[in-house]
Amino acid sequence: MRLPTFLGATVFLIISQLQAATRPNVLFMMADDLNNSLGCYGHPLVKTPNLDKLAARGVRFQNANCQFPLCGPSRNSMLTGLYPNSTGILTNSQLFRQTIPNAVSLPQAFRRDGYFAARIGKLYHYGVPNSIGTNGHDDPTSWELELNPAGCDRLLEHPDIFSLLPGNFGGTLSWYASPRPDEKHTDGLQAKDAEWVLERCAKEKDRPFFLALGFFRPHTPYVSPKKWFKGYPEAEMPVVQGVKEDQADLPAPALGSYKKEQDKLTDDLRRQAVQAYFSAISFMDAQAGKVLDALDRLGLAENTIVVLTSDHGYHLGEHGLWQKQSLFEESARVPLLIAGPGAKKGGVANSPVGLIDLYPTLTELCGVKAPENLQGQSLVPMLKDPTVKGRGWVLSEVVRGGGFKRMGASAAKGDDGKRLFGYALRTDRYRYTEWDEGNAGKELYDHESDPKELTNLADKPEQAEVQAKLAEQLHGIVKTTYPANGKIPEIPQGNVMYAPELVDPQGGKAGKE
Ligand SMILES: [Ca+2]
Ligand SMILES: [Ca+2]
């Protein structure tokens, strides 16, 4: 029987509205350089009441690791659902469109299926702090709307920031207790912009949204309002002890992320750095809280999947290291919280997972068509039942040597331009790392007895059987990280990208990363 045209159109409209109403929204929140120093992960000092509340509303992944502990490679991997060896993005200031131009990014997949996709702040790589206020190394295809506010931390405060390398803030330990309120800072402005976008989305509930919000803190420079510093008295900040003894059993590439200027660190400076890093976390948590409150206020919380994660972890002196780019737990591990429809409230998942798993997870949860070549696993079964084991391992990689050479900069001393790869396999119990297929060193840590990874068990006779198994597993897994032709995609010569920068109002030299 044929329906009269107007009736058919009405039925179609009702059905499509019903479908739209059942498709969940996504609020995808990233913090930059955030390690697992959060209340909900059991940190004894750091206060993160808003993220703790989010954790209670969903599943907390205890053993989530990034695929490459550096902003650009990690974010390109996460947002394409491919390992860095398949994106070809192994350093910053590069974008997957240079290597695999036809890949479909995670937000792009949502857009193709009718979602409204918006970005606020850092999702792809940015030079922090200089690119703040611009699109950074963005992928325009990924978003319908982009917002790039710049606050006092970017526009006014550079001359006041303390840095181990004066004038350099991005790649160097640097901090500042700002006299200006949260609302004047970039992350505060971003939270406000997110509220504004959510208000617009709440008025058009028939169209689901994918809102990506990338906070810049706690990335260096650790700038946040003074009031947050008060929660972390300098004298009470921890300083890692026993570094020399710990380093004695480590191969050189394990410590390859050490920076010369860190020789200047005294215990007083170490305490100040930790204080400022923790303060920046609490500041970021408060901004995230404003956005989560807006979600509640606008009646969007029930039908919105909320993700909170970071692009990699962060060292605060463990093994004598600071910042990122190591394959130790502190640098490879990330916080990962997923709440909303499809996620068990208050769940804790212990099995290892990766940022590479977010693409297949979110597309499945939302019924969005995903590309066929994704390399991660869907976490949907773990979100329903956090005891599900899933893949049971996660792989992280870094590059030493030539891969670190930055555009226009000469290679570091002793760098012969050859790239050396390091891979770390994290299972439920172990972390097993090989540098240059073991030729440049191996590490094995048993997290059951050594959660701080202080005792390298590699090549100890009593571990031979365990190590052989892990090595075989690692080699097999690494093979699966390449594209079908087995080669890491290269950027064509001359196809370089320069990060946009706002004109520096001080006309001074600000730090690059
Ligand atoms: Ca980062
Ligand atoms: Ca050690």
Find the mean pLDDT for residues 359-381.
Answer: 98
CA nearest neighbour of 151 among 121, 195, 126: 121
Closest ligand, as measured to the CA of 216: 1
Residue pair 304/24 in contact by the 8 Å Cβ criterion: yes
In angstroms, what CA-CA distances link 180 with 47, 183, 191, 275, 420? Answer: 21, 8, 16, 18, 44
Give me ligand 2 centre to Cα 243, in Å: 8
Give me ligand 1 centre to Cα 424, in Å: 19
Closest ligand, as measured to the CA of 318: 2
Which is catalytic among the residues 40, 125, 152, 315?
A: 125
What pLDDT does 248 receive?
98
Give me ligand 2 centre to Cα 347, in Å: 33
Active site residue 137: no
> Could you report the per-residue pLDDT of 60-80, keeping only the tens digit for each?
999 999 999 999 999 999 999
| Separation of alpha carbons 357 and 244, rounded Å | 37
Closest ligand, as measured to the CA of 70: 1
Give me ligand 1 centre to Cα 33, in Å: 4
Q: Does the pLDDT of residue 18 top 70, yes or no?
A: no
Instruction: Name residues whose C-beta falls within 8 Å of residue 67's C-beta, 6 or more positions apart in sequence.
Output: 73, 74, 77, 78, 83, 84, 354, 355, 356, 395, 396, 397
What pLDDT does 410 receive?
40
DSSP per position, 330-383: HHHEEEEEEESTTS-TTEEE-S-EEGGGHHHHHHHHHT----TT--S---HHHH
Beta strands 393-401 and 162-163 are: unpaired
Give me ligand 1 centre to Cα 375, in Å: 22
Give me ligand 1 centre to Cα 75, in Å: 8
Instruction: Phi first, then psi: give them for residue 250, nearest 5 degrees.
Output: -110, 140
Find the mean pLDDT for residues 94-109.
Answer: 95
Closest ligand, as measured to the CA of 355: 1
Find the mean pLDDT for residues 400-405.
Answer: 61
Listed range (205-209, 379-383, 422-426, 499-503) with the worst mean pLDDT? 499-503
Give me ligand 1 centre to Cα 124, in Å: 10
Give me ligand 2 centre to Cα 161, in Å: 34
> Could you report the per-residue pLDDT of 437-465, keeping only the tens digit for each?
999 999 999 999 999 999 999 999 999 99
Give me ligand 1 centre to Cα 467, in Å: 31
Q: In angstroms, what is the C-alpha Rg of the chain?
A: 23
Higher per-residue pLDDT: 31 or 511 = 31
| Separation of alpha carbons 395 and 431, rounded Å | 10
Residue pair 283/224 in contact by the 8 Å Cβ criterion: yes
Closest ligand, as measured to the CA of 255: 2
Question: Both tokens of residue 430?
Answer: 């172990």
Local confidence band at 510 (pLDDT 50, 70, 90 cut-offs): very low
Active site residue 40: no
Q: Does the pLDDT of residue 417 top 90, yes or no?
A: no
> Could you report the per-residue pLDDT of 165-207, keeping only the tens digit for each?
999 998 999 999 999 999 999 999 999 999 999 999 999 999 9
| Separation of alpha carbons 480 and 394, rounded Å | 12
What pLDDT does 370 receive?
98
Which is catalytic among the residues 40, 66, 71, 366?
A: 71
Q: For residue 192, give the H/E element and its range.
A: helix 186-203
Give me ligand 2 centre to Cα 248, in Å: 6
| Separation of alpha carbons 51 and 57, rounded Å | 10
Length of the chain (residues)? 513
Closest ligand, as measured to the CA of 34: 1
Local confidence band at 10 (pLDDT 50, 70, 90 cut-offs): low
Q: Does the pLDDT of residue 411 top 60, yes or no?
A: no
Name the residues around ion ligand 1, CB cutoff 5 A: 32-33, 71, 311
